[in-house]
Structure 1
Amino acid sequence: MEFAVSRPRSAAFGALALCAGLLAGCGAEVDESDEAQTTTVNRCGEAVEYTVPQRAVVYEGGSADKMFALGLVDHVHGYVLPPANPPVSESPWAADYEQVEFLSDDLLNRELVVDANSDFVVAGWNSGFSDSRSITPEILDTLGIQSFMHAESCFNYPGFPEQHTPFDGLYTDMERLGAIFGVEDRAADVVEQYKNRVSAVQEQAPDGPPVKVFLYDSGTDQPFTAASQVPPNDIIRFSGGENIFGDVEARWTEASWEAVVEAAPEVIIILDYNDQPAQEKIDFLKSDPRTAALPAVVNDQFFILDYNEAISSPRNVDGLEKFGAYLRDYVNNRG
């Protein structure tokens, strides 16, 4: 594994120690034994030394859910939740959300993190961290603020890229967070549970040729969809389907309606944003002459995938189980 424990270098961690002291004065619970050691964990392809964070800021539901699934609510100060995210009341960890602060419904930004006195930020590359908005792990490093990126998003992270299949990225994140917070055994148990649930869906996948599936995220002039490097691709293939854009080496990507028509998908997964309801997307597909004759549209074969089941999150496994059951029923009833 890539984890290692060592004593901190006083020069490198002076700023963090000072920050921790200030935070303790603000009511944060800082364990001195935690401060006395560091753990080296990969942040994408870069080995980084971490002290145990006490005031994490998490961006979007996937980041929050990973922390909550590991029982780390006491280490989370607050969350940032843009409008696309479903209400936190719908989360399996709704009670944990109630214990931490809602910081913003805007995009992640440096001022918010600094104002929150955060010592740790969890987000994805280009889905939270961004060069264009001047909030990157490197910038946070200069401020003495630690950061963690979802392994799934490391595919196109400049400088230190790292490639995982999407579900392996989820498992990697849980193991890495477990190491940073000293809850490795808990993380191992959680990952084992996820893998067992995934295996159960794979074992029940219908026989025969895979069902062609198109994921419709958004877009009218051109469809925005899931390629090979995001969780829906694994959800589709583990269930016994074939993502019609699964051979594209990218994460979320623009495609063409011509390519969708040529693939003739039997099933369409609709990504349900809180601010872009699924029914509006279904109505568009039924009314647009380019898509109205698709087999999935003609036969009304739409599956609604929750936003937090599509981004890297423990809820990917929930989405897999639901789509797996849907696809089995579809194949059995197709005749």
Structure 2
Amino acid sequence: MTRHRGTALVVAAITASVAAGCGAEVESAGEAGTVTVDRCGEPVEYTTPQRAVAYEGGSADKLFALGLTDHVHGYVMPPANPPVEESPWASEYAEVEFLSDDLLNRELVVDADADLVVAGWNSGFSDQRGITPEILDELGIQSFMHTESCFNYPGHPEQVTPFDGLYTDLERLGRIFGVEDRAAEVIAELRERVDAVRSQVPAGDPVPVFLYDSGTDQPFTAGNQVPPNDIIEFAGGRNVFADLDERWTQVGWEAVVQAEPEVIIILDYGDQPAEDKIEFLRTSPITRELPAVRAGNFYVMNYNEGISGPRNVDGLEGFAEYLRTLRG
């Protein structure tokens, strides 16, 4: 039973229309001001940004959901991301500048005259590529890191569950931009949707679920520090690698076989279609006898539902519906 998410798009579109209709509530956000907000575990003083740059869909989505399109100069969208035209915030993306389809780098941010960069630690910001919050601080450019990515941030680690990280980011961004009321509304809406899903989880043992990100020699999967872990749990499943205190991590196929997953989530992104990943699992002598593969229990999850952002809740709703159908 291969299932691509469908109804979740409708819910996402409704959420986007609500956000788009709240522009009048954030017009005052442009007034200059300063506020101290934690960046991971470090208190940082922020001045209200006017030319924010967002890296990947999750960053931009958080800003757009808060009605901050007028404060976003542009976005960097590497090829792994699905087309922005498919986003529930497609009209907001169209209003700001597409800066690059490359990885985040310092020259790009400087050339854009950015006054805030929103990204994750090791998913945007990187020691290896020479773009870190500390480096940007020295350049006079503010930065904001996804709380979900902070647990291994050097010097100022912060560890929360992934969905709590999403709510924390929206609250902190609301304070930085002076739209606390709007942030509270968005968080309340998301929490209500999550609670509705959790109240409908069927009785019985959680279904063992393996998330397949990529990799043939060894698979990449989701540990307990990324949104799919919460998505799986809240929908009534059990991430078979929930004991790994990691974000996206590599495991061995032997561990996957031993876990005997009954459902496999395929994270859909990049230049390898989800159908190709499914075909690999069906034909590989290592995986073709997995319970999920024998039963054809594949669920295709959009990339932007798997990384930290408001669309995590769309992913939860879609996957929970799939599990309910499977059990029914």
**Same fold flag (TM > 0.5):** yes
Pairing 1:125–2:121 present: yes
SS in 1 for 2:81: coil
Pairing 1:93–2:66 present: no
1:54 to 50, 57, 80: 50
1:258 to 254, 258, 267: 254
- Please say if residues 109 and 135 of structure 1, whose CA atoms lie closer than 8 Å, have aligned partners that are also in contact: yes
2:98 to 94, 102, 127: 102
Distance, in Å, in 2 between the alignment partners of 1:284 and 1:245 is 21
Paired residue for 2:145? 149
Paired residue for 1:231? 227
| CA RMSD of superposed structures (Å) | 1.3
1:275 Cα deviation from its structure 2 partner: 2.0
Paired residue for 1:34? 31
1:325 to 318, 321, 328: 321
Per-residue CA distance 1:2-37 (angstroms, 9 max, x = gap)? xxxxxxxxxxxxxxxxxxxxxxxxxxxxx99833x3
Structure 2, unaligned stretches of length 5 or more?
A: 1-27
- Please say if residues 75 and 98 of structure 2, whose CA atoms lie closer than 8 Å, have aligned partners that are also in contact: yes
1:159-308 matches, cutoff 5 A: 159-308=155-304
- Please say if residues 30 and 50 of structure 2, whose CA atoms lie closer than 8 Å, have aligned partners that are also in contact: no
1:274 Cα deviation from its structure 2 partner: 3.7
- Please say if residues 29 and 178 of structure 2, whose CA atoms lie closer than 8 Å, have aligned partners that are also in contact: no
Distance change (3 Å), C-alpha of 1:32 and 1:183 = closer
2:307 to 304, 311, 320: 311
- Please say if residues 59 and 309 of structure 2, whose CA atoms lie closer than 8 Å, have aligned partners that are also in contact: yes
Per-residue CA distance 1:41-68 (angstroms, 9 max, x = gap)? 0000000000000000100000000000
Per-residue CA distance 1:75-120 (angstroms, 9 max, x = gap)? 0000000000000011010000000000000000000000000000
Letter in 2 for 1:302: F
SS in 2 for 1:321: helix
Per-residue CA distance 1:239-268 (angstroms, 9 max, x = gap)? 010000001111111111001101110000
Divergent runs of 4+, >4 A: none
- Please say if residues 79 and 104 of structure 1, whose CA atoms lie closer than 8 Å, have aligned partners that are also in contact: yes
- Please say if residues 267 and 296 of structure 1, whose CA atoms lie closer than 8 Å, have aligned partners that are also in contact: yes
- Please say if residues 175 and 187 of structure 1, whose CA atoms lie closer than 8 Å, have aligned partners that are also in contact: yes
SS in 2 for 1:57: strand
Per-residue CA distance 1:144-172 (angstroms, 9 max, x = gap)? 00000000000111110000100000000
- Please say if residues 84 and 276 of structure 1, whose CA atoms lie closer than 8 Å, have aligned partners that are also in contact: no
Distance, in Å, in 1 between the alignment partners of 2:91 and 2:29 is 28
Paired residue for 2:7? none
Structure 1, unaligned stretches of length 5 or more?
A: 1-30
| TM-score normalised over the length of structure 2 | 0.91
Paired residue for 1:20? none
Per-residue CA distance 1:102-147 (angstroms, 9 max, x = gap)? 0000000000000000000000000000000000000000000000
How many equivalent pairs are there? 302
Letter in 1 for 2:38: N
SS in 1 for 2:31: helix
Distance, in Å, in 2 between the alignment partners of 1:153 and 1:330 is 32
1:206 Cα deviation from its structure 2 partner: 1.3
Distance change (3 Å), C-alpha of 1:33 and 1:329 = closer
Bigger CA radius of gyration:
1
Identical amino acids, percent of aligned pairs: 71
Distance, in Å, in 2 between the alignment partners of 1:159 and 1:41 is 17
- Please say if residues 136 and 142 of structure 2, whose CA atoms lie closer than 8 Å, have aligned partners that are also in contact: yes
Letter in 2 for 1:301: N
- Please say if residues 170 and 187 of structure 2, whose CA atoms lie closer than 8 Å, have aligned partners that are also in contact: yes
Distance change (3 Å), C-alpha of 1:183 and 1:33 = closer
SS in 1 for 2:266: strand
SS in 1 for 2:117: strand
- Please say if residues 34 and 51 of structure 1, whose CA atoms lie closer than 8 Å, have aligned partners that are also in contact: no
SS in 1 for 2:119: strand
Letter in 1 for 2:248: W
Distance, in Å, in 2 between the alignment partners of 1:225 and 1:273 is 14
Per-residue CA distance 1:202-239 (angstroms, 9 max, x = gap)? 00011100000000000011110000000000000000
SS in 2 for 1:275: coil
Distance change (3 Å), C-alpha of 1:32 and 1:163 = closer
SS in 1 for 2:67: coil
Paired residue for 1:66? 62
Which of 1 and 2 has higher RCO (CA within 8 Å, sep 6+)?
2
